[in-house]
């Protein structure tokens, strides 16, 4: 059975981000002027305020910064427990996502790898999400 | 240019937190946000010994709408604004200094418990102002508690801190609350109780969370001239110095929380407030810290320079925060044990401590009392002292 998740908030600049994710690509904006990368998507480079940028793929590898395990259920379709991690991508920006890893096995600084999975939102629309999983040697 | 403020607080009022908590628990709330505000406003006027005709400025805290607040209180003023507890005193000081108003009522009222304000899950509150509150919903990441749990996990791991450090914060604040008849939580709390309490978002537990409650707080702020003309200087409390520093860059991706623990902003705000007050952390008699979650306390103690990240666990576990301790902290019980009044109650507590009117929880010879908040990375701090030197 397909899992159901809350739909992402989509600002003007989130739309292309999620369209790429639906094609199993994670792209972040990159500044044409200073090469800075940022997240969440937005209208300009927060470092130099340049409005010239392009969507460029990221490597999908990251370092684990922290994690939490929800013991309380907040969304009817997402019964606790589940674990969410914060990872710093190789490119710099921090991206949060869930993980299937046992939280007892997680260690700050551990290498993590992006993985895509399929879900649907509360209106039964299909969408792709991503998780962070411990990198296997 | 000096940023030292000159205005005075001449009155405070609040509501009956324990009584209203009990009524809310029975789904019998006695009024709404505006009704609580009226109660606190009338008490503040009586406390100051002025009438509402003396008020010529109004400042409203969320969720109060300005026009309706003024209508309910029957106030026609010549200056008004709105903001949170971290912004209110700076704004009031600026308005008084500019001559826009001479006697300002700062009013906060909230029926968040009886109205069922959601601090997580579908339709979480304040997501329009703080994107991180709602941005990670597809992964089930929601609630301010989760943001602080994520921060706590990393901060505690990097600094080798034990969960009992947060337990001691909850215990110390409960000890203060038990000396405050207006605090919601009056039962004794032991470390075993703390460790046995249910997890909400791990690593945080029930007793690491604020007490969501209905209520209101009102502060009356005036110029020195107004207070002197009305003969109100004896009990007036001076805003001695402010410190403020924000961290907004990469806020939604949580970099200021996870990589910096807000410390650069803590340190900058501390540098300013102690410089302008010409004192240091060692001179502070009592500290009030915005504590929507217990983990705010170690972060702030370290950030302001009372201790550092390596020693903050030892500092807290020494009993420093307790009644009679080296640095009595959140002496009303704070958000964890008195009532979640979004920082406004902490400001009222500072005034009561400086006036030596805090009853059984009074900190002996409280001369300089400090408030500090780091909500969403906006660090604000203020030091209070008596307007008139005591003999």
Residue A2 placed within a domain: no
For the segment B73-85, the average pLDDT, to the nearest whole number, is: 96
Residue B177 placed within a domain: yes
Residue B125 placed within a domain: no
pLDDT reported for residue B2 = 55
φ/ψ region of B266 (left if φ > 0, alpha if ψ in -120 to 50, else beta) reads: alpha
User: What backbone torsions phi and psi does residue B126 show, to the nearest 5 degrees?
Assistant: 70, 10
Q: How far apart are the first and last CA of chain B?
A: 32
pLDDT reported for residue B118 = 85
pLDDT reported for residue B127 = 81
pLDDT reported for residue B96 = 98
Q: Is A38 in the same domain as A70?
A: no
Residue A95 placed within a domain: yes
Residues from chain B that touch A103, judged by Cβ atoms under 8 A, are 202
Q: Which two tokens stand for residue B94?
A: 């600026």
Please classify residue B76 by burial: count the beta carbons closer than 10 Å to its beta carbon, then call 0-12 exposed, 13-18 middle and 19+ buried: exposed
pLDDT reported for residue A91 = 97
> Mean pLDDT of all residues in chain B?
96
Please classify residue B358 by burial: count the beta carbons closer than 10 Å to its beta carbon, then call 0-12 exposed, 13-18 middle and 19+ buried: buried
For the segment B311-330, the average pLDDT, to the nearest whole number, is: 98
For the segment B282-309, the average pLDDT, to the nearest whole number, is: 98
pLDDT tens digits along B211-262: 999 999 999 999 999 999 999 999 999 999 999 999 999 999 999 999 999 9
For the segment B196-203, the average pLDDT, to the nearest whole number, is: 98
pLDDT reported for residue A13 = 97
Percent of chain B past pLDDT 70, that is, above it, reads 99
Q: Which residue of A has its CA nearest to B201?
A: A70
Q: Is B381 in the same domain as B277?
A: yes
For the segment B82-102, the average pLDDT, to the nearest whole number, is: 96
Q: Characterize A42-68 residue by residue with b for buried, 16 or more Cβ atoms within 10 angstroms of its Cβ, and e for exposed.
A: eeebeeeeeeebeeeebebebebbbbb
For the segment B86-103, the average pLDDT, to the nearest whole number, is: 97
pLDDT reported for residue B390 = 66
pLDDT reported for residue B84 = 94
Q: Is A109 in the same domain as A49?
A: no
- Full-model pTM: 0.96
Residue B160 has pLDDT above 60, yes or no: yes
Residue B247 placed within a domain: yes
**pLDDT category, B76, cuts 50, 70, 90?**
very high
Q: Is A77 in the same domain as A24?
A: no
**pLDDT category, B16, cuts 50, 70, 90?**
very high
Residue B165 has pLDDT above 80, yes or no: yes
Residue B282 placed within a domain: yes
Q: Give me the residue from A40, A67, A75 closest to B140, CB to CB.
A: A75
Q: Is A77 in the same domain as A87?
A: yes
Residue A40 placed within a domain: yes
**Of residues B118 and A1, which shows the higher confidence score?**
B118
Residues from chain B that touch A65, judged by Cβ atoms under 8 A, are 154, 258-259
> Mean pLDDT of all residues in chain A?
96
pLDDT reported for residue B4 = 87
pLDDT reported for residue B202 = 98
Residues from chain B that touch A40, judged by Cβ atoms under 8 A, are 131, 135, 252-253
pLDDT reported for residue B376 = 81
Q: Which residue of A has its CA nearest to B127?
A: A9
Q: Is A63 in the same domain as A125?
A: yes
How many other C-beta atoms can be found within 10 angstroms of the C-beta atom of residue B127? Answer: 16
Q: Is A52 in the same domain as A95?
A: no
For the segment A94-122, the average pLDDT, to the nearest whole number, is: 97
pLDDT reported for residue B29 = 97
Which domain covers residue A16, as residue numbers?
11-57
Residue B87 has pLDDT above 90, yes or no: yes
How many other C-beta atoms can be found within 10 angstroms of the C-beta atom of residue A35? Answer: 12
Interchain contact B196–A (C-beta under 8 A): no
Residue B319 has pLDDT above 80, yes or no: yes
Computed over its alpha carbons, how large is the radius of gyration of chain B?
20
Residue B42 has pLDDT above 70, yes or no: yes
For the segment B166-188, the average pLDDT, to the nearest whole number, is: 98
Beta bridge partners of A113: A61, A133
Contact B146 A68 (CB under 8 A): yes
Contact A71 B139 (CB under 8 A): no
Q: Of B155, B185, B161, B156, which Cα lies nearest the Cα of B173?
A: B185
Residue B303 has pLDDT above 90, yes or no: yes
Contact B122 A6 (CB under 8 A): yes
Residues from chain A that touch B254, judged by Cβ atoms under 8 A, are 86, 94, 96
Q: Is B81 in the same domain as B28?
A: yes
Percent of chain A past pLDDT 70, that is, above it, reads 99
For the segment B93-118, the average pLDDT, to the nearest whole number, is: 96
Report the CATH number that the domain containing residue A82 is assigned in CATH.
2.40.50
Is A109 within 8 Å of A95 (Cβ atoms)? no
Which domain covers residue B245, as residue numbers?
131-212+241-386
For the segment B96-121, the average pLDDT, to the nearest whole number, is: 95
**pLDDT category, B51, cuts 50, 70, 90?**
very high
Residue B76 placed within a domain: yes
pLDDT reported for residue A2 = 85
Cα dist. B60→B33, B96, B374 in Å? Answer: 12, 16, 20
Residue A6 placed within a domain: no
For the segment A39-48, the average pLDDT, to the nearest whole number, is: 97
Q: Which residue of A has its CA nearest to B124?
A: A74
Q: Is B52 in the same domain as B193?
A: no
pLDDT reported for residue B250 = 95
Q: Is A110 in the same domain as A136?
A: yes
What length is written for chain B? 391
Is A99 within 8 Å of A84 (Cβ atoms)? yes
Beta bridge partners of B221: B9, B104
What total number of domains does chain A contain?
A: 2
Q: Give me the residue from B131, B140, B157 closest to A84, CB to CB.
A: B140
Q: Is B339 in the same domain as B205?
A: yes
Q: How far apart are CA B169 and CA B156, in angstroms?
A: 14
Residue B391 has pLDDT above 80, yes or no: no
What total number of domains does chain B contain?
A: 2
Contact A71 B200 (CB under 8 A): yes
Is B306 within 8 Å of B147 (Cβ atoms)? no
Residue A94 has pLDDT above 90, yes or no: yes
Report the CATH number that the domain containing residue B174 is assigned in CATH.
3.40.47.10
């Amino acid at each position: 059975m397909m899992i159901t998740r809350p739909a992402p908030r989509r600002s003007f600049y989130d739309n292309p981000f999620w369209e790429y994710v639906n094609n199993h690509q994670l792209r972040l904006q990159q500044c044409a002027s200073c090469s800075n990368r940022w997240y969440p998507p937005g209208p300009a480079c927060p470092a130099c305020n340049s409005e010239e940028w392009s969507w460029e793929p990221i490597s999908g590898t990251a370092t684990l910064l922290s994690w939490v395990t929800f013991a309380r259920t907040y969304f009817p379709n997402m019964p606790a427990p589940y674990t969410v991690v914060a990872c710093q991508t190789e490119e710099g920006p921090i991206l949060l996502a869930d993980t299937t890893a046992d939280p007892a096995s997680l260690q700050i600084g551990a290498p993590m790898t992006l993985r895509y999975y399929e879900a649907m939102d509360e209106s039964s629309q299909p969408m792709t999400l991503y998780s962070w999983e411990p990198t296997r040697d | 240019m000096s940023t030292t403020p000159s205005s005075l607080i001449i009155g405070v009022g609040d509501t009956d937190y324990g009584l209203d908590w009990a009524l809310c628990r029975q789904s019998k709330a006695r009024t709404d946000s505006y009704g609580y505000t009226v109660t606190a406003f009338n008490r503040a006027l009586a406390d100051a010994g002025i009438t509402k005709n003396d008020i010529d400025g109004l400042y409203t805290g969320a969720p109060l709408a300005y026009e309706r607040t003024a209508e309910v209180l029957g106030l026609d003023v010549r200056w008004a604004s709105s903001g949170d507890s971290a912004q209110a005193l700076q704004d009031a000081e600026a308005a008084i200094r500019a001559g826009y108003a001479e006697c300002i009522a700062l009013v906060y009222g909230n029926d968040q418990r009886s109205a069922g304000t959601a601090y997580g899950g579908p339709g979480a509150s304040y997501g329009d102002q703080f994107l991180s509150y709602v941005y990670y919903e597809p992964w089930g990441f929601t609630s301010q508690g989760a943001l602080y749990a994520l921060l706590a996990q990393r901060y505690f791991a990097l600094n080798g801190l034990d969960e009992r450090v947060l337990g001691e914060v909850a215990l110390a604040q409960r000890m203060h609350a038990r000396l405050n008849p207006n605090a919601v939580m009056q039962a004794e709390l032991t470390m075993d109780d703390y460790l046995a309490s249910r997890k909400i978002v791990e690593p945080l537990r029930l007793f690491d969370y604020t007490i969501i409650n209905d209520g209101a707080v009102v502060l009356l702020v005036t110029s020195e001239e107004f207070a002197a003309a009305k003969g109100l200087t004896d009990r007036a409390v001076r805003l001695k110095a402010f410190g403020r520093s924000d961290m907004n860059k990469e806020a939604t991706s949580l970099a200021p929380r996870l990589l910096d623990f807000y410390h650069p902003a803590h340190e900058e705000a501390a540098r300013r407030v102690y410089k302008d007050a010409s004192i240091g952390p060692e001179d502070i008699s009592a500290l009030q810290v915005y504590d929507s979650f217990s983990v705010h306390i170690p972060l702030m103690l370290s950030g302001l320079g009372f201790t550092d990240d390596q020693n903050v666990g030892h500092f807290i576990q020494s009993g420093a925060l307790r009644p009679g301790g080296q640095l009595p902290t959140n002496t009303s019980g704070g958000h964890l044990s008195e009532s979640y009044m979004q920082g406004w109650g902490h400001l009222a507590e500072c005034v009561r401590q400086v006036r030596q009117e805090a009853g059984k929880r009074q900190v002996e010879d409280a001369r300089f009392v400090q408030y500090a908040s780091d909500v969403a990375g906006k660090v604000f701090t203020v030091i209070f002292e008596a307007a008139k030197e005591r003999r």
